[in-house]
Structures are given as structure tokens and as C-alpha cells.
Amino acid sequence: MFAAELSSSLNCCATPERAVPNVACFSGRTSPHTPHTCIFSRASRSHKYCSRRIQKIQARAVAAEAPAVPKPGTLPPRVVNVSLGDRSYPIYIGEALLNNSEIIAQHVRGSQILVVTNETIAPLYLDSFVKGLQSQGAFHIETVILPDGEEHKSLQVLQQVWDKALESRLDRKATFVALGGGVVGDMTGFAAAAYQRGAFFIQVPTTVMAMVDSSVGGKTGVNHPLGKNMIGAFYQPQCVLADMETLKSLPDRELASGISEIVKYGLIYDPELFQWLEDNVDKLLARDSKAMMHAIDRSCAIKAGIVALDEREGGVRATLNLGHTFGHAIEAAQGYGVWLHGEAVAAGMVMAADMSFRLGWIEPEICKRTVDLLKRAKQPVTPPKGMTTEQFKTFMSVDKKVQDGKLRLVLLKGPLGSSVVTGNFDSKILDDTIAAFVAHEDLLVEGR
């Protein structure tokens, strides 16, 4: 919708290669008259309209109502709003929010609730979460506990959610609550989207990955043996409740893998966030609440702004997939669950940065800083040993960014914080990049 509005009012958005606004647009720190890169043409010019509109969306994104009074000794909660007209919703970020059932209760539409979680999270949080909801009134609450793991993110396992909902005679006013990481969130959202053509849905993310990325924006779905997240729907939740206290039980490796997606926001939009990460990544790994709050808040605000512009990924939203086409190939080739999603994306982002450098689109410094930061975040910066060129090509060819048989990639172009989604590149450079990383030869990225 925004794309159409823009192109009719600005006459500058016709190029097929869609660039993204530089950080000035999303940081909201520049004046509306500051020249910036147009979302659609990359021409640097002063687009008052574009700039003002993005600033408006950004302002709405951070100015939603505050939740109930915080528990003493906890950080004041923050709320980021995802502005999607009558489907807008708040993201609550804070400590000790999970048992603050009032927040959830105010977003439940009917009286029936189905809490979906997995066998790891259930013993930690399910009982107290359900008790809290019960204290809020006459809800009929059912639960379903799925097996844990990316390898279970399948239609077969999802069937258990629908089985439980039908056995419990839940109607379409029921609210499905996803209590867990990205896997539970993606599956529950899709289950809700398809249940009687659309039940309500709430996200309660419990991993960094889910808090900064997967719970926001309404992408839901499951994997297919031939490709990751290939079966799914866009379906927005009623609200997102991110309680950072749940991160205390998150294993170190899971916590670190979520940082990859925060690095992604820095690379594609926000050089200040990238630099902040360079200064604070150790605090995130040490689970410092204040640092974690900042990283989640900023990531959600960036994602909310992008989703508000392009909910169904017709343009700018695709940049959120930086590193994902390479990363999905790694995940699929290894077998789902062997490498964590964030780990595969980390190696994928390094490949995308390296390819961008080979194309002459970015300075080598950006590759070096990316590798250094991801290494400090304890993420892999090369694909797994033994992965072949054929595997990359096979799995990349079923990626959702293939359009009319042509592979489109998210690549970096220009200063830090600028990216493009394009199929317009020399395919030999892609081959060279894959060949270099598969051979684990003296990589350009390592040498800088």
C-alpha cells in the first residue's frame, strides 16, 4: 500500500531493484528535509513525503500505551506498536511480564484459550502461566505440548494443535497462545490462521530470536522437506509479550544465535545499532538486562517500522532476509535442527557481505566488522565443512526469493546500513562466493 502511495506521489520508485531507506529514515533522527536514499530508487534526494511518513510510523511504533505497573526492582517495561490499521498490535517488552496475566487477558477476545508450547518450556513456565490466566476470570484454558526442535516444525506435528482444538470444541473466537521460541511461535500462528479460517493468536516469545524477530510481523508456518518455512501464512497476533526473565533459562548457544538477527538489523538499516553491538555484545552474552532491553526494543522498533511499510514482503521487508537464502540452504542441507537458525544466518550474512564486496558494492571494512562482530557473538562465519556447491545451489533454488526462475538475493550496497534485494548481479560472482566458502579457502573476508 505504501509502495503504491509512494510511487504515485513521487515518481521515483519505478526501478525493479528496490533499495531500502538508509538509517536516517528509520532512526527518526534526521529532519524530514534531509536528503536520504529513496526506498525504491536509491537516488539520494530529499523526499519530504517519504521521510515524514516513515517518521510518523516510527513515532506510532514507540508510542503505545504502557502496561500495568512494573514489579519493584524490574526495568520499566516498554511498548512498541506495530501499525497495521485495524490489525495494529502492541509488543510489550519487560521483566516479570509473564505472570502479569492482566496484559494477556486484555487481548483475549473470546473465553477459550489454547496455550501451545513444547516439552522443554512446559516444565519451566506453563503451570504458572496458566494459573495466572485462570486468575483473570472465566477462561476455558487448554494446553498442548509439542515435541521440541526445528525438525518437528512440520505439518504432521502441527496436526496435534488442530486435534487438541477440535477435541476441546474450540470455536473460531478462541485465542491460540504461543509460549516458546520461534518454532512454537511460527507453528502456533499458522495453526491459528488456518483453524476454522482464523482463530485469534498471541505471541509470548521466550528466546532472543523470537523476541527480536519471529514473534513480530505475522510470518507463520512450517518447514517442508524441500524447503524451510515453505508452507505458511501471513497472520498477525493480537499482541506480543516479551518477558526478558524467561531468557534466564535459555541455553547460551540459543541466546547467542538470536544475536545474529540483531546484527542483521544493524547491517541492513542501522549503523548506530551495529556500532552499539560492537560496544555491547559482551553484555548481551552476559544477559545484562539493560543492554538486552535496548537490543530487543530497537530491533522490534525497526521490524515494526518495516512491517508497517510492507506487511506482505512486496519490497522493503525482503531485506530482513539478509543472509537467509544462504542460511536456509545450510539449515536444509545439514538437516533441520543441526545448526541453529541464527547460526546459519550468521554464516549466510558473511557470505552475502563477501559477495557484495566481490561485486564492488561495499568497502572491505564492512565485511571485516561483520566477521569480527559475529565471531564475538560466538557465531560461525563460514558454512559447515563438507557442504557442497550442489547443495547450496539446490536449496537456494527453492528459496522464496526466487521469482520467475531468477534467484534474488539480499545484498549490501553502499555505506553500512544499506541493502538491496536484487536478481541483478553477475552470477559468476555468486558461484565464486559459494566456491570459496565451500572450499574454506583463504576467504576474502578472513584475509581483511
Ligand X SMILES: NC(=O)c1ccc[n+]([C@@H]2O[C@H](COP(=O)([O-])OP(=O)(O)OC[C@H]3O[C@@H](n4cnc5c(N)ncnc54)[C@H](O)[C@@H]3O)[C@@H](O)[C@H]2O)c1
Looking at the annotation, which residues are catalytic? 197, 219, 261, 303, 313, 317, 321, 324, 328, 341
**Interface with ligand X, residue 184, by CB under 6 A:** yes
Across 235-296, the runs of DSSP E, i.e. the strands, are: 240-243
Among 101, 207, 299, 321, binds ligand X (CB under 6 A): 207
**Interface with ligand X, residue 120, by CB under 6 A:** yes
Measured from the CB atom, the residue of 75 and 233 that comes closer to ligand X is 233
Please tell me whether residue 327 adopts helix, strand or coil conformation: helix
Q: Cα(359)–Cα(422) distance, rounded to whole angstroms?
A: 13
Nearest distance from residue 180's CB to ligand X, in Å? 5
Q: How many residues bind ligand X (CB under 6 A)?
A: 28
**Interface with ligand X, residue 186, by CB under 6 A:** yes
Q: Cα(416)–Cα(195) distance, rounded to whole angstroms?
A: 43
**Interface with ligand X, residue 180, by CB under 6 A:** yes
What grid cell was written down for 102?
492482566
What grid cell was written down for 47?
523526499
- 407 DSSP β-pair partners: 402
Beta strands at 227-234 and 219-224: parallel, antiparallel or unpaired: antiparallel
Contact 324, 410 (CB under 8 A): yes
**Interface with ligand X, residue 325, by CB under 6 A:** no
**Interface with ligand X, residue 341, by CB under 6 A:** yes
**Interface with ligand X, residue 334, by CB under 6 A:** no
Print the binding letters for residues 137-166 with ligand X: x by CB under 6 A, - otherwise: -----------x-x--x-------------
Q: Cα(320)–Cα(316) distance, rounded to whole angstroms?
A: 8
**Interface with ligand X, residue 249, by CB under 6 A:** yes
Contact 41, 19 (CB under 8 A): yes
DSSP codes joined into one string, 61-92: HH-----SPPPTTSPPPEEEEE--GGG-EEEE
DSSP codes joined into one string, 128-176: HHHHHHHTTSS-EEEEEEEPPSGGG-SHHHHHHHHHHHHHTT--TT-EE
Of residues 357-376, which lie at the interface with ligand X (CB under 6 A)?
none
Measured from the CB atom, the residue of 28 and 323 that comes closer to ligand X is 323
Piece of 71-79, 249-257, 288-296, 407-415 that binds ligand X (CB under 6 A): 249-257
What grid cell was written down for 308?
508497517
Print the binding letters for residues 251-290 with ligand X: x by CB under 6 A, - otherwise: ---x--x---------------------------------
**Interface with ligand X, residue 210, by CB under 6 A:** yes
**Which chain residues interact with ligand X by CB under 6 A?**
118, 120-121, 124, 148, 150, 153, 180-184, 186, 206-207, 209-210, 213-214, 217, 219, 229, 246, 249-250, 254, 257, 341
